[in-house]
Each structure stands twice: as structure tokens, then as C-alpha cells.
Amino acid sequence: MCCTQKVYATSIEAYYILDILSEEEIKILEKISNYPRPKITNNQTILCYMHGTEPPQEELLKDLKPCPFLDEKGLCKIYERRPLMCRLMASIVPCSQGMAELPPFLFQISTIAMQLAENIDIGGVYGNIFDLLKFLHYYKKGEAEEVPDYLLNNLEVDELPILPEEKDLRKWVGTLYRTPVEEKITFRDLLRELREEFQSYESLTFLRDII
């Protein structure tokens, strides 16, 4: 089972999903527990390696339960709005045989993609998607006054984790940045616009005040 309850995301990803969830689906999320939570964000992990320190070990939970967004056929009910972590998932071994295993190059690309998402969501938080959805649901209802300890502050780190000898990875990033997404707008232009927009996005500014 690849689609487990180990799904980490940023708050903008959670807002995107929350918009399509019903009250009944929120109640289902409230019933699940004992899922893993990240100890640090992706950018904090990158800083650890940049400073020559080991990041804290993740909690390893045995027998991870299936994601509650799977339907009776095992298909994702929020597929079009699934988190980035799910979009980047591609294992070279069957998940039923144990832990998923990403190809090395895909793992590097995924790390950079997650970093870019965190850089956009400055002022927001990071955590297990189910924690995020429940918290943001109650915040929108005016029933959440502070950010729980298990949701982590996003950190902005512009330096990408690419070694000088990793020419293929550097080439991939360059191609990504130059890719046109609209007429006369490249991915890099869009990334810059999104970072500026979400830094002043009203539904996220409360996090700066609380934290």
C-alpha cells in the first residue's frame, strides 16, 4: 500500500484540498489518529545537511493505515488536488513488499520540488495533511486560536541542494525554470509571482501573528 496516512504538506496545499471537502469528510478525518508527523520541514532538513549536521530521525510507525481519501476501489477521491508529496510518489518496488523506493534522480527532483513549495508558503505551516486540514477547518470557523505544536513553521531557503558535479540535476532545474507556463511567462516568473502573492495572502497572515 503506497497511499498511507504518511502524507506531509504545506498549508497552501491543505487550503486547496479543504475547499472541496464536506463536513462529513472532515468528521471522518477527526476519527483517524496515530499517523506520523514530520519533526522538521524540508528546508530545515536541507539546512542540516548544509551545516554538516544530521537531521532528526523520523518516527517509524509500523503498519501504516491506508489514506482515508481512498474510495472502496482504492482510488484517490481528491486526485486532482492531491498534495505534492503524492504527485511525486513513484516507487521502483511494489509498496506491498515494504517501504517504497524512489529512483535516486526522482528523489533529488522531489526534494527540490518540496523546497520550492515551502518557499512559496512562507508565513504558513507544514505537517501531516490531516493535521493541517483539521486545524485550518477550525480556524476558518473561528474555533482555533493558536497553531498546534505539531505544525511546523515554514522556512525560506533559496539555495538548492545541488552539488557541482550533479550536472544532470542542474540542467533539469534550468530547464524547469525556463519552461513557459503562459505566454511570455516562464515557470521561474510564475514562482516569483506566487511567492509574492502568498506572502500577503490574507488567509495565511494569521500564522505570522500567532507564531
In a domain, 194, yes or no: yes
Across 189-204, average pLDDT: 73
Considering only CA atoms, which of 18, 12, 42 is closest in space to residue 130?
18
- Supply the range of the domain harboring residue 56: 8-210
Across 71-77, average pLDDT: 92
Cα–Cα distance, 91 to 102 (Å, whole number) = 5
Checking if the pLDDT of 124 tops 70, the result is: yes
Checking if the pLDDT of 152 tops 60, the result is: yes
Q: Which residue pairs, CB below 8 angstroms and at least 24 apart, start in 155-159?
A: 155/41, 155/43, 155/44, 155/47, 155/118, 156/43, 156/118, 156/119, 156/122, 157/43, 157/46, 157/47, 157/115, 157/118, 157/119, 158/119, 159/46, 159/50
Q: Which pLDDT score, from 0 to 100, does residue 210 have? A: 41
In a domain, 1, yes or no: no
Among 67-76, 90-99, 148-157, whose mean pLDDT is lowest?
90-99
Tens digits of per-residue pLDDT, 25-56?
999 999 998 899 999 999 999 999 888 898 88
Question: How many domains does the chain fold into?
Answer: 1
In a domain, 3, yes or no: no
> For the whole model, what pTM was predicted?
0.86
pLDDT band (50, 70, 90) for residue 140 = confident
In a domain, 132, yes or no: yes
In a domain, 130, yes or no: yes
Cα–Cα distance, 40 to 174 (Å, whole number) = 28
Higher-confidence residue of 126 and 89: namely 126
Q: Which pLDDT score, from 0 to 100, does residue 44 have? A: 95
Cα angle 17-151-108, degrees, rounded to a multiple of 5: 75
